[in-house]
A and B are shown apart, each in its own frame.
Chain A
């Protein structure tokens, strides 16, 4: 039976991150969640599974807490889950992360299709999918908003800035998806409870045959600081008894701003 690997990332809720007094980003105390676009990847994998009976597994690289992302994927219908967790995996760059993912896929017996979100909302680099494809030596199509499985290949629609491309992709391949591809399901309470009991396989550097030395060259380096630019706005509520009055009051305010021609 062909298989699908889905890569998920557990990240701070980007809606909740704040700045300290100096404008530096604070992520401590912010609740964590599965990267939105990775849920689209999970949903797409589950849909293919439901239609064609393919085997599915989810992978994440992260600390123990990242198991939550895997539990969510299992609750949505993914069959198996792998957590790559090791001190040596901390602060890996995109190539390092892709390397760990490639090793887990190998360990799981390979995958005919690897699905990822187009980008993770926190680091926003969009590199892990293509890099994983490079390490696996397979084709990659990013920003896909439609997938149709054919015999030994996929028909996909890629959404670029100025056009849509319809491509035939031989399997195995890596595909990254946009948020338009589907609406991720919300698992039932029953599914969540069942997923909570499922085994999550935990793999460390040694299990994957990765040396600490090899990984140390792949730390996310060069980061100086992360700043939250201030967005100072007046936040004046315009009110009135009637829509007409509100409209007049708003136009008056805009006139004073000098933005009405």
Chain B
């Protein structure tokens, strides 16, 4: 019988996922499953009761210092809780901030840590982990060498919990150091429209699309195909046309149909669309790497092909 599993994430929905995956691990390891909520105030603490349904216990620490996203502060607090609870496995959602906290925490504890885990399984007393490596090209299978250990689990690697555990909330007050960082401002990304993860069809634009306005064309095509519009990372992060992108570091999607328009096909992008059923690519560069991972491809100018597709689809709809 191992010590408890402690799950923490700064995101409520991801903490719920950790409890979903943690339940199976708790069973296999004979451990209890505890959720840790580090709240900056009563509002942030309000979800604890709800979480308790899915955990054996929810540990709730409220401290204003948690309002500053300083990984050192969070790592110190989690270390203190892990120590007093005797936790053997610490699950953290592998967001950009979570990954930083996990790394710092494991350095403090001098224990192994793996980030971006896409699968965590307990088999015959071993903890087997899969991680994405080589920019999404390969999968590393690893065994957790010793307990305690810290695992940062990729979002959506675990399902939300299904079986109620009906635990209680316990208020704790771990040692929380003063943050060294100062949070000056926060700008939320405007994430709107249907969630790309749920779209059946995605029309996605890349650097080949010259102007922001030209995405109207992609939107029209997406609408006719009954889907959503996405983009590659340069469009979102370099040009700032959209708040989110598809790829390893952005959204991972698995639509029935993925249409890559003017996207060259960097590995990181391909890693985000790997599970699509059918991939179509339109690119004028005959050597574009995207073609080698497509089912159907067109070597041609997107400014000619996309309008032709729109017209052809309109004709079909008109006939029907």
Flag if B298 contacts A25 (CB, 8 Å): no
Residues from chain A with a CB closer than 8 A to the CB of B137 are 14, 17, 228
Q: Does B297 belong to the interface (CB within 8 Å)?
A: yes
How far is it, in angstroms, between the C-alpha of A235 and the C-alpha of B280 when the chains are bound?
A: 9
- Across the interface, which residues of B come within 8 angstroms of A64, CB to CB? none
Q: Is B213 an interface residue (CB 8 A)?
A: no
Q: Which of A125, A180, A250, A253 contacts B116 (CB 8 A)?
A: A125
- Interface pair A235/B297, CB less than 8 Å apart: yes
Q: Which of B195-226 contact A (CB under 8 A)?
A: 200-201, 225-226
Q: Are A225 and B308 in contact (CB under 8 A)?
A: no
Any chain B CB within 8 A of the CB of A229? Answer: yes
Q: How far is the CB of B12 from chain A (nearest CB, A)?
A: 13
With a CB–CB cut-off of 8 A, which chain B residues contact A223? 140-142
Residue of A nearest to B239 (CB): A180
Kindly state whether residue B163 has any CB partner on chain A within 8 Å: no
| Inter-subunit contact A25/B141 (CB<8 Å) | no
Tell whether A98 is near chain B: CB-to-CB under 8 Å: yes
The answer to whether B110 has its CB under 8 Å from any CB of chain A is yes
Contact with A along B301-316 (1 / 0, CB 8 A): 0001101110111001
Chain B hits for A178, CB < 8 A? 237
Knowing A130-B103, A235-B294, say if A168 contacts B274 (CB, 8 Å): no
Q: Is the CB of B103 within 8 A of A131?
A: yes
Q: Is the CB of A130 within 8 A of B181?
A: no
Given contacts A124-B134, A140-B71, contact A247 B296 (CB under 8 A): no
Cα distance, A129 to B99, chains bound together (Å)? 11
Q: Which residues of B contact A17 (CB under 8 A)?
A: 134, 137-138
Number of interface residues of A (CB under 8 A): 75
Distance in angstroms between the alpha carbons of A143 and B94 in the assembled complex:
13
A135 to B72, CA, bound (A): 11
Rounded to whole angstroms, the CA-CA distance of A121 and B138 in the bound complex is 11
Taking a contact as CB atoms under 8 Å apart, the answer to whether B104 and A139 are in contact is no
Q: Is the CB of B296 within 8 A of A236?
A: yes
Q: How far is the CB of A159 from chain B (nearest CB, A)?
A: 7
Quick check: B225 and A260 within 8 Å, CB to CB? yes
Main SS class of interface, B? mixed
Assembled-state Cα–Cα distance A229/B271 (Å): 11
Other-chain contact of B184, A93, A166, A254, A261 (Cβ < 8 Å): A166
Q: Provide the bound-state CA to CA distance between A159 and B187, in Å.
A: 10
Q: How many residues of B contact A (CB 8 A)?
A: 86
User: Which residues of chain A come closer than 8 Å to B311, judged between CB atoms?
Assistant: 244, 247
Q: Which B residues, 257 to 271, have Cβ-Cβ distances below 8 Å to chain A?
A: 257, 267, 270
**Contact assessment for B297 and A124 in the assembled complex, using a CB-CB cutoff below 8 Å:** no
* Chain B contacts with A in 122-163, Cβ cutoff 8 A: 128-129, 131-135, 137-145
Would B139 and A94 count as touching, CB distance under 8 A? Answer: no
Is the C-beta of B100 less than 8 angstroms from some C-beta in chain A? yes
Contact: A142 with B100, CB < 8 Å? yes
Contacts of A242 on B, CB cut-off 8 Å? 308
Q: Kindly identify which residue among A126, A145, A225, A227 contacts B103, using a CB–CB cutoff of 8 Å.
A: A126
Are B293 and A231 interface neighbours, CB within 8 A? yes
Contacts A143-B96, A164-B189, A247-B311 given; does A121 touch B134 at CB 8 Å: yes
With an 8 A cutoff between CB atoms, is B174 at the interface? no
Contact A130 B104 (CB under 8 A): yes
**A163 part of interface (Cβ distance < 8 Å):** yes
The answer to whether residues A124 and B112 also contact, given A130-B100, A130-B104, A167-B184 and a CB cut-off of 8 A, is no
A161 with B135: CB separation less than 8 A: no
Chain A 3-52 interface residues, beta-carbon cutoff 8 Å to B: 12, 14-15, 17, 25
Contact A162 B142 (CB under 8 A): no
Q: A124-B135, A254-B278 are in contact. Are A180 and B238 (CB under 8 A)?
A: yes
The answer on a CB contact under 8 Å between B185 and A121 is no
A86 at interface, CB cutoff 8 A: no
- Residues A233 and B295 in contact, CB atoms below 8 Å apart: yes
A158-B96, A161-B95 given; 18 more Cβ-contact pairs under 8 Å: A15-B289, A125-B131, A126-B100, A134-B75, A139-B70, A162-B191, A165-B185, A166-B185, A167-B181, A223-B142, A226-B141, A233-B294, A234-B294, A235-B295, A238-B296, A243-B305, A254-B296, A259-B257
A positions within 8 Å CB-CB of B:
12, 14-15, 17, 25, 93-95, 98, 121-127, 129-131, 133-135, 139-143, 145, 155, 158-170, 178-180, 221-229, 231, 233-238, 242-244, 246-248, 250-251, 253-254, 257, 259-261
19 CB-based A-B contacts, threshold 8 Å? A12-B134, A94-B113, A98-B107, A124-B135, A126-B99, A131-B104, A140-B100, A160-B97, A164-B189, A165-B69, A166-B185, A222-B112, A222-B145, A231-B274, A236-B296, A237-B298, A238-B296, A247-B312, A251-B309
A-B CB proximity, top 3 nearest: A247-B308, A243-B308, A130-B103
